[in-house]
Structure 1
Amino acid sequence: MSESGKEQKNFSSYDDTSPVNATDEEAPPLPPVVSSPPIQDGGTRAWLQVVGSFLVFANLWGLPFAFGSFQTYYQLDYLPNKSASSISWIGTVSTFLLIVIGVFTGPLFDKGFFRLMLLTGALVETTAFFLLSLCDTYWQIMLTQGIMVGLGNGLLYLPGLALVGRSFKKHRSIAMALTTCGAPAGAIIYTLMFERLIGNLGFAWTIRCMAFFMLGAYLLSFPLMLYRATNIGDLGSGGGQARKLFDATALRDGLFWSYSFSNFFLFFGYMVPFVYIAAYGQTYLDLDRSMALIMIVIAQAASIVGRLAIGYTAARIGVMIPWIACGLISGILCIAWAGVESEGSFIAFAVLYGAFSGALIPLPPSVFPIVCPDPKVLGARLGMAQAIGSVASLIGSPIAGALAEVNAAPGETNWLGLQLFSGLVMVAGGCQLIGLWILLVRRRQIGKLI
């Protein structure tokens, strides 16, 4: 192993309970819980927890990644009197609440309320989707699919990954990679369900079928995660030590701001193609609805491959080079999206963007223990960075949708404005990553292969 690799490993070991290979949005690191039993290291019990957490992630992040299906249907059929920007707020509010609530529920997990968070979150999300099947106005859909789903997912955000992260040492990166792959897998499942059912069953029963699938996934996942689980504290025991939510010293740390701004700009544009890709295919390329929605499936399938392939590459040469490359390439692909004029080039764009942008999810937390090597404030600072990034996820797609209406004829879409916006902000994030890389090499006095 290279000297830089050893340094990285040493930094990562400060917080032995942190799932450092999980997603930036999906997995904040966890400070040690004083009353918890020692960390396990694999075994049948632990791998069953991975399966259970995979199913939770399929619901937790599968729906936000599948929102492009809803965006297109709402925009063209169900809510035609609402703008694309207004509709996109439904998906971004849900994602924003998922991340922010997830950050602030850390103390609940630390105090032992693991089961309560899981059960309450699943109940709220499933109830929201059943209620969504009864909705036919914008404010009702925003309340159920936007706010209620976001609040429920915020409670589910931390526990699944935390449990898996504390069940492994040697194979933690593999376990976390498999768990987070539940997100694109869920997006594929929900997109295919929507595409296959909406024409035959209509909106109400399509949503109910998705809600029943969601309920079944939770009923299957919770026994796998909780039965005879020995790496969590007793419910409500109060024996855990609650984490710190805010660290004022981070505001004076240039490395913290460099990391936060990099992720902010990357996630400013990250979700835009996933939200609007189906609408682009249906309105600009005149694809039928089925083929347009399949593009979301193609992008998410490529995302799974990209996450695993780039994760393996990062283990070999460090995280920063793959992270920078994927950020810049994703931005360039969004700009190149403006030249997509045929079904073949559209498929190529979906595959490439899915593969390279998917890698942006698992890479950032692997670097943060180097950005912040102090284990006492690592969790607080990463939570703060995530909160900053969540704002980008909230406003990115609506801004892109608003730009798509500028200088557009009635009933038309200015796709160029949307495409350039998503591309340029992601390129800016990639360039900021280069600055972060330089700062890390200079200030942490480690090798270039970080």
Structure 2
Amino acid sequence: MSTFGSHFRVTTYGESHCRSVGCIVDGVPPGLPLTESDIQPQMTRRRPGQSALTTPRDEKDKVEIQSGTEFGVTLGTPIAMIVRNEDQRPHDYGGGGKSDMDSFPRPSHADFTYLEKYGVKASSGGGRSSARETIGRVAAAGIAEKYLKLAHNVEIVAWVSSVGNEHQFPPTPEHPTYATQPDFLSLLDNITREKVDSFAPIRCPDKASAQRLTRTIEQFRDAHDSIGGTVTCVIRNCPIGLGEPTFDKLEATLAHAMLSLPATKGFEIGSGFGGCEVPGSTHNDPFIVDSTTGKLRTRTNNSGGIQGGISNGAHIYFRTAFKPPATIGQQQSTARYGGEEGVLEAKGRHDPCVVPRAVPIVEAMAALVVMDALMAQCAREAMRAKLPALENGMMIAVKDSGTNATNADVKDVLNGVAE
């Protein structure tokens, strides 16, 4: 469906060439300072037409808050946000069978499956399967990020880590997973969005890698082709205890969020697939006492900040894979909706590679996941706070009006359960 989240609920609407796109966000905490200026920066980072590496469609993507705030403060009621489509060109796609673009299901696109599912489809662009739909996600995440920053100083930063077979951190025999590469671990500690954007338009925060990745996109763009890539994301200062085992583990909801994005084809967290190539003696994350806080933490972080589906306080990091954009400028032999063979040469404006523009979208979905998980955990902690205190996970002696149980009684019961 079009709604994401259980406590912080986001519903998006709109197609690629309709009058507007946007979202309704329910569950926003009241009393949060919020204006369009909090939302717009990420919208601007996401918008098309930023460089020669992206689609030339020119949209300013100016967001307007329609409800749920007064005098720049959230009311706790649903927040509606709208972005008007200004550079629509539905005629590029024909419509009603008036052009080849409307006569063919585009290869590897959603045209065929949407038509089979609904019996009708948007004739212009990708409809709801278009990346234009992600505007509502990014807008909603602006609210989540504002709260997460104020309440817990949560920082979420993503960047382009590969294009085609060019990688920022290629695997080596010594480091089959980037999770153990010193330069990568240093990047997790220090990377900022400002640093990522200083390498615009590619958004790969390394000069040599940025040049290689840029050249790769340019080669496919000039050949009227497309190429895929990956986006890596780190979440810093995430509170401990987030995640709802067993089916809504934090990595599971992150995977759900990332794989719900257009063009995604893969997700890995922590050491990922490379971690399968090392023994447990190397992969395990031993616990140590933090010299600053005096609390336990892991010495290494192959787990990617999540163990047992629950955040452990370490950096959460993951990587999302995006396929080559399906619509390309080359002629492709394929079949029409009626079954006749033909040749399709797509028109319209399309990204040769989506990963540079996917960076803020990945950040947005990460923010929505953390916000939803945080609200679930806060509700649990508030309910638990009404009960007698625990000592090392055991019930402390208490008598109330409803029971004559003593501390010894409780311990006997728990010991019996343990036996």
TM superposition score category, shorter chain reference: under 0.3
TM-score scaled by length of structure 2:
0.27
* Rg larger for: 2
- Higher relative contact order (Cα pairs below 8 Å, separated by 6+ residues): 1
TM-score scaled by length of structure 1:
0.25
